Amino acid sequence: MRVRQRDFDRIRAVLDEADAEEPLTAREILDLLDEHGEEFDSAHRVATVLGRHAQSGDVEVIRDQPYRYEFTERSN
């Protein structure tokens, strides 16, 4: 779980820094991570990390085509 938490924290930090205000797809998040120098294997990995955190309520998964992800609370 520690690795997943670290991945989650990296994703969250980049999205906070980018001031992403709307729900994003895993591909859009992966592109933002890349722009900020954070390496992730794939959009699937991003979706997996965020999907697991949706179970605890940290992330809302918008089940559309494609799925979109939004943090339910922002850290400052």
- Residue 24 DSSP one-character state: B
Q: Quick one: pLDDT at residue 21?
A: 84
| CATH code for the domain of 14 | 1.10.10.10
- What pLDDT is attached to residue 75? 45
What integer pLDDT is reported at residue 3 of this predicted model?
Answer: 58
pTM: 0.87
- Domain span at residue 8 reads 2-71
User: Is 55 a member of any domain?
Assistant: yes
75 alpha carbon, distance to own chain's centre: 14
Q: What is the pLDDT of residue 1?
A: 57
- CA–CA separation, 22 vs 64, rounded Å? 14
Query: Is 76 contained in some domain?
Result: no
- Domains contained in the chain, number: 1
8 within a domain of the structure (yes/no) = yes
